[in-house]
Amino acid sequence: MKLAQRIQNVSGSLTLEITSRAKKLRQEGFDVINFAAGEPDFDTPEFIKEAAIKAIHDGFTKYTPSSGILELKSAISRKFKNENRLNYNPSQIVVSCGAKHSIYNLIQVLTESGDEVIIPSPYWVSYPEMVKLAEATAVILRAYPNENLKINISCLKQAITSKTKLLILNSPSNPTGVVYNPDELKEIAKVCIQNKILVISDEIYEHLIYDGQSYTSIASLGKEIYDLTITVNGVSKAFSMTGWRIGYLGASEEIACAVSKFQDHSTSNPTSISQKAAFAALEAKNSWLKKLCLEFEERRNLMLQCLDNISALSYIKPQGAFYVFSDISKLGLDSHTFVKRLLEEENVALIPGEGFGMENYVRLSFATSKDKIKLGMERIERWVKQLLKKS
Ligand code: PMP
Ligand code: GLU
């Protein structure tokens, strides 16, 4: 049997693979500290679960419109307006099975063979593979540690050709946690407007932002960039709802209709029950997000404090998301070997930078308790010191 070429070129998701390996080892009784996790460790809040249970009891268990129920799209429309200063009518919104699905659908409907998609590195693992699945070409933008691995505007300009269709922007970033400020976003927007390049703005970590900063969506910076941008978000990270699979996008009506049509013939609607739960999450006027953000900020500070004791591991200070991207080049191991040995020898799971397009780095997630952060970082410190002694 020969599998289609389309899947033969695609790699599995390193983030999902290592996270499940770490979870499995824990279930088998190994004392694993999981710094690989790309999801909050908290349970979904009770009021969200209750909305889902009510949906089941009410018999809300049938097909819904493919692009989502109007009630939820209206709540998303209000969220975009109130939190992001963005006007997307419900007809410009499509609800999908996670932000991953929203981005996949967009790349499918916007690009094809011959198109180029600019992906700033380091990037979230799935972007280049999604581009391959659309038979388009991923153009990886180089980044520099002395610029916090953010987009370099001259590199961006140089990467643009007549075939460039799309730029994928992710702020706060997975894996670095860097957040683009309004001036940086204006510079990026200017280049995209001049060259008529569409932007997918992946804002999934929007609510996890530290040091008293406020968040800016690139599409809110003016009509021209609004017209070129598709804003993607979801409830996975902000409401600890990774398993519920609800993401959404705001775009022009033309793009929203195309995605909706694509969804008609692939997944149909995202789960009816999860849509009711997502509605409850978006409508809630409670302190959940504030508490979540504060807890993550404390965990970030703790992890950075611990990293400061390990001088061989430098890092980029994350201003958002729940990851630290650390430079391991002083240790003389490639990121894959580093991660494999650390898991085998100290039971600490990380993700190798290789998966994010940066060989000399590893990603540490602080989506775990402070006690585990302390314990895991002690193990890393001891292990790194031994490694340096031997070399
Ligand atoms: N974008 C980024 C940068 C992510 O890290 C994730 C996490 N999986 C997603 C999108 C997708 O999130 P989800 O599909 O769970 O909504
Ligand atoms: N986005 C998370 C991560 O980067 C979850 C896993 C995935 O979907 O990639 O770890």
pLDDT digits (tens, 9 = 90+) for 179-227: 999 999 999 999 999 999 999 999 999 999 999 999 999 999 999 999 9
22 has a pLDDT exceeding 90 = no
Ligand 2 mean position to 162 CA, how many Å? 32
Choose which residue among 18, 20, 21, 39 to substitute to test ligand 2 binding: the one with the highest number of ligand atoms within 8 A of its C-beta.
39
Choose which residue among 13, 21, 104, 124 to substitute to test ligand 2 binding: the one with the highest number of ligand atoms within 8 A of its C-beta.
124
Q: Which architecture does CATH list for 62-283?
A: 3-Layer(aba) Sandwich (3.40)
Ligand 2 mean position to 15 CA, how many Å? 5
Regarding the domain with residue range 5-44+288-390, which homologous superfamily does it belong to in the CATH classification?
Aspartate Aminotransferase, domain 1 (3.90.1150.10)
105 lines ligand 1 (CB under 6 A): no
CATH 3.90.1150.10 positions along the chain are 5-44+288-390
Ligand 2 mean position to 386 CA, how many Å? 31
38 lines ligand 1 (CB under 6 A): yes
CATH 3.40.640.10 positions along the chain are 62-283
Burial 189-212 (b: 16+ CB within 10 A, else e): bebbbeeebbbbbbbbbbbbbbee
Beta strands at 247-250 and 229-234: parallel, antiparallel or unpaired = antiparallel
Q: Measure the CA–CA gap between 25 and 154, rounded to whole angstroms.
A: 45
Beta strands at 164-170 and 229-234: parallel, antiparallel or unpaired = unpaired
The DSSP secondary-structure symbol of 262 reads: H
What is the pTM (predicted TM-score) of this model? 0.97
Choose which residue among 15, 174, 323 to substitute to test ligand 1 binding: the one with the highest number of ligand atoms within 8 A of its C-beta.
174
Task: Give the contacts of 190 (CB within 8 A, at least 6 positions apart).
Answer: none
What pLDDT, in 10s, does the model give residues 108-154? Answer: 999 999 999 999 999 999 999 999 999 999 999 999 999 999 999 99
Integer angstrom CA distances of residue 377 from 87, 161, 319: 44, 44, 20
User: Taking each helix axis from N to C terminus, what angle separates 70-84 and 272-283, rounded to the nearest 10 degrees?
Assistant: 30
